[in-house]
Structure 1
Amino acid sequence: MTTRKSFYLVREDMLTDAMEKTLAAKELLDSGKVKKINEAVNIVGLSRSAFYKYKDGIFPFHTMVREKIITLSIILVDRSGSLSQLLSKVAETGANVLTINQTIPLQGRAHMTISIDTSPMKLDLDALMDWLEELDAVKKVEIVGTGS
Structure 2
Amino acid sequence: MKEQQLVLVDKAVLPEVFSKVLTAKSYLSKNQAKNSSEACKMAELSRSAFYKYKDSVFFYEDQDKSSVVTYSLWLSDDPGVLAKVLTVLTAFRVNILTVNQNIPVDRVALVTISFRCDGVLLEEQQAAIYRAVVEIGGVVKAKRI
Give TM-score, length-normalised by structure 1.
0.50
Unaligned runs of 5+ in 2: 1-62
Tell me the equivalent position of 2:31.
none
Q: State the Cα RMSD in Å.
A: 2.5
Take 1:111 and 1:99, find their aligned partners in 2: how far apart are those partners? Answer: 14
Take 1:65 and 1:76, find their aligned partners in 2: how far apart are those partners? Answer: 31
Post-superposition shift, 1:67? 5.6
Tell me the equivalent position of 2:48.
none
Query: 1:63-122 CA distances to partner (integer Å, 9 max, x unpaired)?
Result: x96561011100111111111111001010101110011110011100011000022679
Q: Are residue 133 (structure 1) and residue 134 (structure 2) matched?
A: yes
Distance change in 2, residues 1:96/1:143 (3 Å): same
Larger radius of gyration: 2
The one-letter amino acid paired with 1:124 is Q
Q: Check conservation: 2:75, 2:141, Cα contact below 8 A.
A: yes
Tell me the equivalent position of 1:113.
112
What percentage of residue pairs aligned between the two structures are identical?
Answer: 27
Take 2:66 and 2:126, find their aligned partners in 1: how far apart are those partners? Answer: 12
Pairs aligned (count):
82
The one-letter amino acid paired with 2:72 is S
Q: Check conservation: 2:65, 2:118, Cα contact below 8 A.
A: no
Q: Check conservation: 2:70, 2:115, Cα contact below 8 A.
A: yes
Query: 1:30-63 CA distances to partner (integer Å, 9 max, x unpaired)?
Result: xxxxxxxxxxxxxxxxxxxxxxxxxxxxxxxxxx
Take 2:128 and 2:64, find their aligned partners in 1: how far apart are those partners? Answer: 17
Unaligned runs of 5+ in 1: 1-63
